[in-house]
Structure 1
Amino acid sequence: MTSTSTHPATASTRTPASRPAAPSNRTRRGTRFLLGALAVAGPLWATVSLVQAATRDGFDLTRHPLSLLSTGSLGWLQITNFVLAGILLVAGATGLRRAVTSRWAPRLVRVSGLGMIAAGLLVMDPADGYPIGTPPGMPPAMSWHSIGHMVAGSITFTALIAACYVLARHFAVLAGHSGTAGARRTAVAAALSGTALLAGDIWAMTGAPAGSLTLAAGAITAMCFLTVAAIRTRP
């Protein structure tokens, strides 16, 4: 009698423990909100940057990097743009951690966000004729904050490139399991976005013509891919 009376109780206590708890509506809403922040980061950063590039006197995107917009009397606009985009990336990384099985993709997105915040706070030196009145060419010596900006930017771009490739693998595995064309296309878009930023960064580092333009195109492509990733993974 003892064994028959305890056996059902044992089974009943094990059954719930063996099933993963479904996320609550509150958790789901929180994840959607955080992924919404990630979705906004890229388009917002790109729009604010490109509008300034098109309207600032003396700024030439084929010669001047977007970071140079942080200098001059209106530099606070681009500083704020960098910091806000970084905050949105950091918040979005938390949502991504809840939505994907990859451990490294959210970490890399968070690192890129922290790097972007640092790049916004550490301002480049005026250079190559911008702002208007600045001598042509690069300054003879770089300030500590300009060096810090370069380091922070390198960390941001490296983490962002890696995040795109890691997400490419994530969506490729998802496509293999589900067989959906959407996941397969997203995997290809992730790989292409990471490659666009990598190529743009290398082109700019070599000092080739229009290097700042190719770097901007690559950065915008990679940032905006995170919008696609956020939308694809929203619960």
Structure 2
Amino acid sequence: MEQDTEFDTAAAVTRSMLGWGVVAGPFYLLVGLVLALTREGFDFAQHPLSVLMLGDGGWMQVTNLALSGAMVLVAGIGAARAGARGTGIAVGVYGAAMVASAIFPPDPMPGFPPGQDGATTISVSGLLHFAFGGIGFTALAVAAFLLGGWLARHGERGGAVWSRAAGVVILVGFVGGAALGPAGMGGLWLAVVVGFLWLLLASLRLYRAVPHPEVARR
């Protein structure tokens, strides 16, 4: 005779949401890398992935940014449901900022699209793209600092230090990259990669904090 197993739907949904935090970074970076390697004129040392939104085929990076942002937003909701409310809200802001950035393309940069000398003036779209980028990276850094506090309260000092250090790298990398332009592109790339790596590890950690959906296996 089979015994019915009580199933916690809320826990299953929360775990599923956090799973998108694991997927978002690899998805965004892999798609962006493929586009960067196949679009004429793109230079990793001079251009951020966002300029791939411009020119022929730009819709592919727009879609990549919007979908990745939606994944991050869902992961933020999952983090809040998992008990890290402040972290979840901040991650959600980052995801929403990514989606907003996909709506407003950046201005051209020297060399991209091919033949461009760069924008001579800052357009409204370019300004909004930059503003949402600033909001997003700041929110992601705040999320890392807040998770550091959450981990410290759970006795995980090593994880707390790593999370806070990631927050510093994200914030300094973005600010440095934005201030220095093409010369600071390495800082911007560092902020993007470390940010998504932090999100992946944070999502995995919070996933473990959610009780198993099958009550009998808790």
- Change beyond 3 A, Cα 1:49–1:153: same
Alignment partner for residue 110 of structure 1, among 85, 88, 92?
A: 92
In the other structure, the counterpart of 1:186 is 159
Is 2:23 aligned against 1:40? yes
Q: Give yes or no for contact 2:108–2:116 (8 Å, CA) kept in 1.
A: yes
In the other structure, the counterpart of 1:93 is 76
Q: Give yes or no for contact 1:65–1:213 (8 Å, CA) kept in 2.
A: no
- Listed as ranges, the gaps of 5+ residues in structure 2 are 1-5, 211-218
- For 1:6-21, list aligned pairs within 5 A: none
Q: What secondary structure is seen at the aligned counterpart in 1 of 2:154?
A: helix
Deviations 1:181-211 (CA, angstroms, capped at 9, x unpaired): xx33322221122111112112213316641
In the other structure, the counterpart of 2:149 is 169
After TM superposition, which residue ranges in structure 1, 4 or more long, deviate above 6 angstroms? none
- Listed as ranges, the gaps of 5+ residues in structure 1 are 1-22, 176-182
- Change beyond 3 A, Cα 1:186–1:49: farther
Separation in structure 1 between the aligned mates of residue 61 and residue 182 of structure 2, nearest angstrom: 24
Q: Which amino acid aligns with 1:146?
A: G
What's the C-alpha RMSD, in Å, of the aligned pairs?
A: 1.7
Q: Which amino acid aligns with 1:56?
A: R
Q: Which amino acid aligns with 1:67?
A: S
In the other structure, the counterpart of 2:214 is none
Is 2:50 aligned against 1:67? yes
Number of residues paired by the alignment?
203
Q: Which amino acid aligns with 1:231?
A: L
In the other structure, the counterpart of 1:220 is 193
TM-score (norm 1): 0.81
TM-score (norm 2): 0.86
Q: Which amino acid aligns with 2:40?
A: D
Identity of aligned residues (%): 33
Query: For the pair shown, which has the larger CA radius of gyration, 1 or 2?
Result: 1
